[in-house]
Structure 1
């Protein structure tokens, strides 16, 4: 019998992660349009890309990345020794038999692999991603409907404030400044709880409109463990020299 106190397990999904691949070696087999997208995804994550493909199979974007030295390139077909020292493998070739063979070799070597257009031979999927500076939002259909994922991703992007990326950077600044004024490790739980209060007190639009002056003023309320309503924070600008902790209109 299910216990309503706990979330129900819904199998069949993927574990959505932000995989940190900075400086890791990623092998891309293929040089067409799909490979171009994979290469850009990896370069955006600061991975080190090696492309294996006959030059005749390169599309203009992949050829450009090779010309600019953004990737390492070998003008030939895949060889098993290409897997030596590799952290991830992405294949995008129109040869199912060759792709399956690469996948099997990856399994033997315990290398995470994505075989384009063959979901059963993928350790992970590429979702449809919206990027705005540090903000990344991925929509995945677990390989069942990539175009649907793209539609959902566009709808989400269209309904976000235009400066969401800047807002995320601003929150990062606030957290860094907070650690600066309360650096002691014993302050950790209070810092975390206060940031949660800030996130709960303000709307997404408030957070997007907040500027450096607002964040500096907001930090004044950390010590008394309070969070002013956003308009109250704006109205108080210029009054903080006389701040004695007695202002009203607090949240939290």
Structure 2
């Protein structure tokens, strides 16, 4: 059997509405009416009225509450009535009284007794879509409403305003206006302006996910390093290895292995963050009492390969500002030569001065590295 209901849109704010009942069902109906026609004149009658309904009375001056039993006189000057009572026999009696007064009635959850239904409504500005399942499944109507609400873009109201302006400017008879408006809407939809909205939302979600992953990698790297150092310190303390470690570090033949260990630790962090190798290696090697020239030479020797690979990747992807490269190229050469000569000449003899300077500069480098990571 097909749905024989005829959908109409009422100017409810020009009519008078009576609601009988003051529980949760009445609250749901009341919120639905106010959500679509907030200035409707509403009279609500019930023996008991829940606090949520009274809250709405404080928000809307067009609502009048009567905490008492229903009376036949309540149908006077009433155009529509919504019955939200638990007693089916009482609902039937109220419906008969309403029919005698020529008042249309909706009885909650009783389709057979209804003169009209309250459908699920999709709202997008001036666009409004009412959904009816002929009283068979309000749940399906609700799910369809959620689907349409999500599918229709929020810009639809702007589209309707533009179409109204175009319609007002069109000259000609009704058939001409229909043809022109059909042509405009067809071109609009074919351009993908409506369908592009879900793609934008997906891209936004992907970007948010990537940012969250980067931050998670940074936190995991920091936590991992702290755990490794903490575990190492616990082992040293538990087995009293401090003297043995000092003896081991004083052996010149083992400094290479400690430098290898420092590089491995730094690469764990740099692999997750994408940066920080030089800063971490400098900090660890200075703590191991390695001379500053050796620290600089070892770190830059290792970084020359990774930096070359990264530079080649950026060049192949077209992510290089060639003009800026040629400006910085001579300055970088001059700065690196001066830095290498200065450190090699003064690093050995004035290590007691150079090390504090590097130690003060390193925390600033850490701060800048983390800021760049979070900005990504």
Band of TM-score, shorter chain: 0.5 to 0.7
**More divergent stretch after superposition (136-145 vs 186-195):** 186-195
Q: In the alignment, what sits opposite 2:310?
A: none
Q: In the alignment, what sits opposite 2:4?
A: 13
Q: Give the number of equivalent residue pairs.
A: 192
Counterpart secondary structure, 1:144: coil
**5+ unaligned residues in a row in structure 1: which ranges?**
1-9, 210-252
Q: In the alignment, what sits opposite 2:57?
A: 66
1:188 to partner: Cα distance = 4.0
Q: In the alignment, what sits opposite 2:94?
A: 102
Q: In the alignment, what sits opposite 1:241?
A: none
Match of 2:166 among 148, 155, 174: 174
- C-alpha distance 137-28 of structure 1, shift in aligned 2 (>3 A): same
Inter-partner Cα distance in structure 2 for 1:12 and 1:189: 31
Q: In the alignment, what sits opposite 1:24?
A: 15
- C-alpha distance 94-156 of structure 1, shift in aligned 2 (>3 A): same
1:93 to partner: Cα distance = 1.2
Q: In the alignment, what sits opposite 2:43?
A: 50
Match of 2:117 among 114, 119, 125: 125
**More divergent stretch after superposition (190-199 vs 78-87):** 190-199
RMSD: 2.3
Matched, 1:83 2:69: no
1:87 to partner: Cα distance = 0.6
In terms of fraction of residues, the more strand-rich structure is 1
Inter-partner Cα distance in structure 2 for 1:208 and 1:168: 16
CA contact (8 A) 1:33 1:59 kept: no
Q: In the alignment, what sits opposite 1:158?
A: 150
Inter-partner Cα distance in structure 1 for 2:127 and 2:51: 29
Inter-partner Cα distance in structure 1 for 2:95 and 2:129: 28
1:163 to partner: Cα distance = 2.0
Q: In the alignment, what sits opposite 2:356?
A: none
TM-score, normalization by structure 1: 0.68
CA contact (8 A) 1:32 1:59 kept: no
**5+ unaligned residues in a row in structure 2: which ranges?**
197-376
Q: What CA deviation, in whole Å up to 9, does each residue of 1:95-125 have, x standing for no partner?
A: 2111111111122222111011110111111
Q: What CA deviation, in whole Å up to 9, does each residue of 1:60-98 have, x standing for no partner?
A: 1x1112223240121212100000111100011112111
Q: What CA deviation, in whole Å up to 9, does each residue of 1:107-162 have, x standing for no partner?
A: 22221110111101111111211212111122211111111111122122222223
1:23 to partner: Cα distance = 2.0
TM-score, normalization by structure 2: 0.47
